[in-house]
Amino acid sequence: MAATAVLASAVAGTAALAPQATAATRAAYNGVCGSGYKVVNSAPIGQKGTVYLTYNATKGKNCVVTVRNAAGSAVPMFAYLYAYDGEYQEDTGNYTSYAGPVYVSARGKCVDWAGGIDNQSTWTYGSNCGSLREHRVTKGW
């Protein structure tokens, strides 16, 4: 009987150490685009993070930032934004928590925007088009 109690205790201890199944944590927008910028679109980057498209109606500018779900050692990341008049900005490098912000003037224009973390990326084409309504054609790799 003592062996059964020890085994039951060991099994209970193992179950307590097992990781709990939880929904994937999505990176929250971190506000780095600045005052007046509101999130108008976003796209997940696999399980690694989220790329956010923001807009400031007063300035007529969009901003993109790529945010990791969890900060850690520096990995390759990028944030990219292109307005349909040819203006674009990108930020690439090794970062611990986010890439960007990058800005373009895009009042009334469609934009392409993208973000990448390590070996995963998400690209959105012909988005928002002068509207704050979320619209996207996204390709993830």
pLDDT single digits (tens) 8-50: 444 344 333 333 333 456 789 999 999 999 999 999 999 999 9
**What's the Cα-to-Cα distance from 125 to each of 5, 25, 66, 112, rounded to whole Å?**
61, 25, 16, 4
pLDDT single digits (tens) 61-88: 999 999 999 999 999 999 999 999 889 9
**pLDDT beyond 60 at 2:** no
pLDDT single digits (tens) 90-141: 999 999 999 999 999 999 899 999 999 999 999 999 888 865 554 555 555 4
- In sign, the C-alpha dihedral spanning 124, 116, 93, 119 is negative
pLDDT of residue 140: 52
